[in-house]
Structure 1
Amino acid sequence: MADEKTIISSSCHCGSSNYSFEVSTSTLPIQQLLCHCDNSRRISGCLFTSYVPVPLDNPAPKLESLTAYHSSDILTRWFCGSCGTHMYLEYKHDGHFEVSHGSVKDSEGVLEFMGHMWIGDTKDGGASDWMPTFGGKAAKRWLGEPENSDEAPLKWKEQDTAASTASRGDKLRAHCHCGGVEFFISEPNEESLKASSPLPDLLVPYNSGRSAENPDNKPWWLSEDRSKHLAGTCACNSCRQISGFDITPWTFVPVGSLTLANNEPFHHGFGTLKSYRSSPIAKRWFCDTCGANVFYDSDERPTLLDISVGLLDAESGARAEEWLEWEKGRVSFRDDAHNNSLINTLQEGLEKWEQQG
């Protein structure tokens, strides 16, 4: 009896890069771990990444419209030079490709997440603390390479990196993997209240069916005591398709709280940034060299930027809790999720994380 095949298709946001490949249906779902390594965070702007391996008997994807970035001696990363979507890993030892999970169409049932790897790079556990189980089973938690490193207990932290004792300093550095994009974030102050937003965005997504107006310009981008910047997780289609990954973590920062590496006031188009208009009202900015997802920039609120949390260099670790107040009540645009099991796991984990304080 012939082995049945399942076709898996992927595409970048702008549609210039498309790829389909076959896997044996009997091998689905493919067991996979979420990667929390420094390289992945700095290159994607996300707190974790995942990929679908392509069997070697498939033709290689066409790479003409993509930009190569040699992130290590092990592999090359390929991203769309027009919209920034991270599409592929190409491994040098055998030439096999892996496709970014967020670029895959109809991904439910393609991957079965079993745990986390390279937690040690996060210093504070990163997003692995929000997903301690998958499918009711305790998630594997590797500090480094799976099976070849120690396992990390829940609430693992590198010694002396707790957010409660971390030194916040005057400014928080943010940078992509290649260093072509670098800037600094200042702590909230009275100037932060001068930013404006007609929509509450993360708190009440515009497609939620509820009021999405902010007539009193409530500064939702700050914590309640106004000492931290708000941060949250987004599962919307455009964020997923543009980053190439299921969840994009954003923090919301007034433009007046940003400075460039040379101490100049913030302005668009510095360093290796490239822009892509993802909708009639919004631009995405990414590094043209390494493909890092950097900013979401809305025409409706030009004084406020969404910044990818994976680029932050906080002393406490990847979650940057001495700087950020995480929204734990919802994964924004949860209804858009193309992998409901993963998003439900994240949502439940965030709620429990909030209850535990």
Structure 2
Amino acid sequence: MADTKGITLSCLCGAATHTFTIPTSSLPLPSHLCNCTTSRRISGSLLTSYINITHDTPTTTSKKPDLTFLTPYPSSDVLTRWFCSTCGTHMYLEYAADGHFEAATGTLKESEGVVKYESCMWIEDTRDGGASQFVTHIDGTELKRYSRESGVSKEVALEWMDDPETTENAVQKYGSSDGGKEEGKKIHATCHCGGVEFYISPPNAESKLAASPFSDLIIPYHRQLDITANIDNHPWWVVGDKRFLAGTCACHSCRRASGFDITFWGFIPTSNITLDATGELPFTRDERRYWGTMKSYRSSPNVTRTFCGKCGANVFWDGDERPSIVDVAVGLLDAESGARAQELLAWYPERVSFEEDALNKSLIKGLGDGLIEWGRTNKGKEYVATGISSMQM
């Protein structure tokens, strides 16, 4: 067996492609699923993860990656985050204390046997437990759960919430079916630097006037069924007239665009997105108007992805086939209930979108199993989407 192994990683557009040599004795490299507010705001994801690619070996040519095509963002005095200036992929953490670099796990060309996820950390930042409740086991091993930094802060239970009553009240007050819904109330969304911000209003009559084929989250594209066209335009993106559908994705392009293995999307009609709290500035695709630091990247012939040009936060997935709906990165939402924003979003627990394309099969299998169990545990609560049948399709 070779003493070293080459690890290659790349952004979505390929401008930043690097290979590092690490000792095989260090494999698999430990990683932790981070739930902290800063990570959510700079990524748009509810879970971020990194591996240490700085190692002392005779064949290592450089401890510092080529940063030519990357933009730095000092998110704190502790570290600087580096992302691709062209496509927005988060690539590295650079630590101020010792100068070591860590690479975002979603940028790797190879993950199985290279990365070992050991815990969920910084759960206390989520208020509602966040997506840590979606990933509880990987390869049959239970992940440890920490309130803050992994291994040094206190461990917390799976059902941990900062204040369960406050979270539950926020959800029920916002979306109650007894007429108590706070009509017109909007949820604020922002990246970490504040350069991109917008507001999302709850579902209304206009929400159902949008048009879209079915998402892979509901009906896998690889099955190639006619139903994916959604000829009758069933408004699958609205659940129970109270929430917008939200889900997870493991596709190659989403993973490499964000830099992380799992992306978390809310399916939101553009009619429910405004650039201001009063609703006077409607959604527009013209970046020059009101969008601040947002940049776009055409990731395929029919898809535009947007991100903050200052902090790199993933913002929208915008497909040409459904111009009246965009996917919004959930990590940007300032929801009263917590990171899962369940007053606005109903999470789909029966499938991970494009799970067949997952790079790290073990992680995504753990996510899929965890989502099913989470949906089973929460069955009966009005803000939980329980599958196609529950949406009366």
Q: TM-score range by the shorter chain?
A: over 0.9
The equivalent residue for 1:245 is: 260
**1:255 and 2:270 matched:** yes
> Residues 146 and 201 (structure 1 numbering): CA distance in 2 closer, same or farther, change over 3 Å?
closer
The equivalent residue for 1:150 is: 154
Q: Give the 5 Å matches for 1:168-317.
A: 168=174, 169=182, 170-211=185-226, 212-223=228-239, 225-261=240-276, 263=278, 264-268=281-285, 269=287, 270-317=291-338
The equivalent residue for 1:29 is: 28
C-alpha distance in structure 2 between counterparts of 1:260 and 1:234, whole Å: 26
- Checking the alignment, whether the CA contact within 8 Å between 1:124 and 1:161 is kept in structure 2 is no
Gaps of 5+ in 1: none
Q: Give the 5 Å matches for 1:70-89.
A: 70-89=74-93
**1:350 and 2:371 matched:** yes
> Residues 249 and 26 (structure 1 numbering): CA distance in 2 closer, same or farther, change over 3 Å?
same
**1:51 and 2:50 matched:** yes
CA deviations 1:267-303 (Å, max 9, x no partner) are 1211111000001001000000000000011111111
1:161: Cα distance to partner?
A: 5.6
> Residues 229 and 43 (structure 1 numbering): CA distance in 2 closer, same or farther, change over 3 Å?
same
> Residues 115 and 180 (structure 1 numbering): CA distance in 2 closer, same or farther, change over 3 Å?
same
C-alpha distance in structure 2 between counterparts of 1:250 and 1:207, whole Å: 20
TM-score, normalised with respect to structure 2? 0.87
Letter in 1 for 2:136: P
- Checking the alignment, whether the CA contact within 8 Å between 1:200 and 1:213 is kept in structure 2 is no
Equivalent position SS for 1:149: coil
C-alpha distance in structure 1 between counterparts of 2:4 and 2:98, whole Å: 23
Letter in 1 for 2:242: S
- Checking the alignment, whether the CA contact within 8 Å between 1:161 and 1:316 is kept in structure 2 is no
Letter in 1 for 2:220: P
C-alpha distance in structure 1 between counterparts of 2:222 and 2:252, whole Å: 12
CA deviations 1:110-162 (Å, max 9, x no partner) are 11111111000011111111122233232211100123322111110011565
C-alpha distance in structure 1 between counterparts of 2:67 and 2:215, whole Å: 39
Equivalent position SS for 1:207: helix
1:338 to 351, 356, 359: 359
- Checking the alignment, whether the CA contact within 8 Å between 1:123 and 1:161 is kept in structure 2 is no
Letter in 1 for 2:13: C
- Checking the alignment, whether the CA contact within 8 Å between 1:188 and 1:227 is kept in structure 2 is yes
The equivalent residue for 2:114 is: 110
CA deviations 1:46-96 (Å, max 9, x no partner) are 001111211243411111111000000011000001001001111111111
Gaps of 5+ in 2: 175-181, 379-393
1:26: Cα distance to partner?
A: 1.6
C-alpha distance in structure 2 between counterparts of 1:83 and 1:208, whole Å: 30
- Checking the alignment, whether the CA contact within 8 Å between 2:30 and 2:51 is kept in structure 1 is no
Percent same amino acid among aligned pairs?
Answer: 51
Letter in 2 for 1:46: S
Letter in 2 for 1:69: Y
Equivalent position SS for 2:257: helix
1:3: Cα distance to partner?
A: 6.6
Letter in 2 for 1:267: T
Quick check: 130-139 or 71-80, which moved more? 130-139
1:199: Cα distance to partner?
A: 3.8
C-alpha distance in structure 1 between counterparts of 2:321 and 2:140, whole Å: 41
CA deviations 1:207-243 (Å, max 9, x no partner) are 33433211111101111x1210000000000000100
- Checking the alignment, whether the CA contact within 8 Å between 1:163 and 1:322 is kept in structure 2 is no
- Checking the alignment, whether the CA contact within 8 Å between 1:124 and 1:317 is kept in structure 2 is yes
The equivalent residue for 2:168 is: 164
C-alpha distance in structure 2 between counterparts of 1:162 and 1:217, whole Å: 36
C-alpha distance in structure 1 between counterparts of 2:76 and 2:237, whole Å: 36
TM-score, normalised with respect to structure 1? 0.96
